[in-house]
Amino acid sequence: MGDLFAWLLFFFILIGLVVMVVYQLICLADLEFDYINPYDSASRINKMVLPEFITQGVLCLLYLMTGHWFMSLLCVPYLYYNVTLYMRKQHLIDVTEIFNLLSWEKKQRLFKLGYLVLLLFISLFWTIYSALEDDEHTF
- Which pLDDT value is given to residue 139? 59
- pTM for this predicted structure: 0.92
Domain limits of the chain? 1-137
- Which pLDDT value is given to residue 1? 74
- Which pLDDT value is given to residue 5? 92
Amino acid making up residue 68: H
Question: What is the full DSSP assignment across 17-62?
Answer: HHHHHHHHHHHHHHHHTTSS-HHHHHHHHHHHHHHHHHHHHHHHHH
Establish how many alpha carbons lie within 13 A of residue 47's alpha carbon, considering only the half-sphere containing its beta carbon.
Answer: 7
For the chain, 139 residues long, the average pLDDT of each consecutive 10-residue run is: 89 97 97 93 96 97 94 95 95 92 95 97 93 74
Q: How many CB atoms lie within 10 A of CB 70?
A: 10
- Which pLDDT value is given to residue 2? 82
